[in-house]
């Protein structure tokens, strides 16, 4: 079996030469599953509804200005399109906020993989002094318990528990919600056998992507998200200061290693790289070719690859991303705190 594609040549992107990509090369990719459920955090409608509310809940931050959605905006493909995100009192971290869409399928969370799954990841920003800055888990639980509606929702989402309003259950609810954020695209239809799902120009870009060796890291269901790779594998990456995974693993051999980002929805999730320093997709492709593969791509080849990458933009689950109505504060609900 062969998939016929056209290789795009010339600066004008004119498709003139026919080539064939062996079907076995496509086996390094896989379509998105219908669900990203967890055996350790079984889904339920009650848990999903609670998690969706908590995802938008600003009162989980000390200043009551920030929620999960502040940095991972669901109406912007799960990002905020900033190099680094604003947090408590205008502080900013040193890494770009990756998209939350399809994130549950990653091998681990964060650029350095320090959280095992989306449930573990949900715990981090709430207590991070640079991000949401809540002082401790007890304050979070106290805030949630101050609103009777949340108490009832937790009891419904975690039935049979004597005290269901816990920090762990907060994270489980948010994780259960995030596991529904799957964004299938025309690419998945193509992988399923519909060769008309991609245009000739997009298939030409796929051919160039494969020929260039990009699939060595960007493969699988997410076209990434399944390995750690050294930034600057072929040539030292200029100006690189963040030591990446070695900060977590304490392994000097993983210095400058980062989790390979997923390419799904990549056209909508700029800026790029761990520090958000690369603004355009064309530049990102050029840099990857140079510093990871040790090669220079012609402008027409870059354009062809980017054309194909745009086919990876999926459908946002509209029924999930609209902001829900949140419980009203009570006299017991802590007030916003911006003192430190």
Question: What amino acid positions are annotated as catalytic residues?
Answer: 131
Distances (CA, A) of 292 to 112, 213, 237, 260, 282: 18, 10, 9, 12, 15
Tokens of 93: 């971290």
As beta bridge partners, residue 229 has 258
As beta bridge partners, residue 8 has 15
Distances (CA, A) of 90 to 65, 130, 148, 205, 214: 11, 9, 32, 41, 37
Q: Say how far residue 202 (Cα) sits from the centre of its chain.
A: 23
Q: Is the CB of residue 55 less than 8 Å from the CB of residue 178?
A: yes
Q: Quick one: which of 72, 157, 161 has its CA closest to 121?
A: 72
Tokens of 240: 């690189």
Tokens of 16: 């003139």
Tokens of 181: 């954020």
């Amino acid at each position: 079996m062969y998939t016929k594609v056209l290789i795009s040549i010339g600066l004008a992107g004119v498709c003139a030469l026919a080539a064939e990509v062996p079907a076995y090369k496509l086996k390094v990719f896989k379509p998105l599953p219908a669900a990203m459920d967890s055996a350790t955090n079984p889904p339920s409608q009650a848990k999903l509804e609670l998690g969706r509310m908590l995802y938008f809940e600003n009162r989980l931050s000390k200043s009551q200005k920030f929620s999960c959605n502040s940095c991972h905006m669901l109406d912007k493909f799960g990002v905020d399109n900033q190099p680094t995100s604003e947090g408590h009192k205008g502080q900013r971290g040193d890494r770009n906020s990756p998209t939350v869409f399809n994130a549950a399928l990653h091998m681990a969370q964060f650029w350095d993989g320090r959280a095992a799954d989306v449930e573990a990841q949900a715990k981090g920003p709430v207590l991070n002094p640079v991000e949401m800055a809540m002082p401790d888990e007890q304050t979070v639980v106290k805030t949630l318990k101050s609103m009777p509606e949340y108490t009832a929702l937790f009891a419904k989402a975690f039935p049979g528990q004597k005290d269901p309003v816990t920090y762990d259950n907060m994270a489980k609810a948010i994780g259960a919600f995030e596991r529904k954020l799957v964004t299938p695209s025309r690419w998945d239809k193509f992988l399923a056998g519909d060769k008309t799902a991609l245009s000739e120009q997009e298939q030409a870009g796929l051919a160039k992507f494969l020929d260039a060796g990009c699939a060595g890291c960007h493969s699988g269901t997410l076209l990434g998200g399944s390995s750690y790779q050294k930034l600057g594998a072929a040539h030292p990456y200029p100006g690189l200061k963040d030591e990446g995974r070695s900060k977590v693993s304490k392994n000097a051999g993983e210095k400058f290693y980062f989790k390979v980002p997923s390419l799904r929805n990549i056209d909508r999730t700029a800026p790029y790289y761990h520090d958000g320093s690369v603004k355009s997709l064309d530049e990102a492709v050029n840099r990857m070719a140079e510093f990871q593969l040790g090669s220079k791509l012609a402008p027409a080849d870059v354009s062809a690859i980017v054309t194909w990458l745009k086919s990876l933009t999926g459908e946002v689950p509209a029924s999930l991303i609209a902001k829900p109505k949140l419980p009203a504060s009570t006299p017991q609900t802590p007030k916003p705190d911006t003192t430190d």
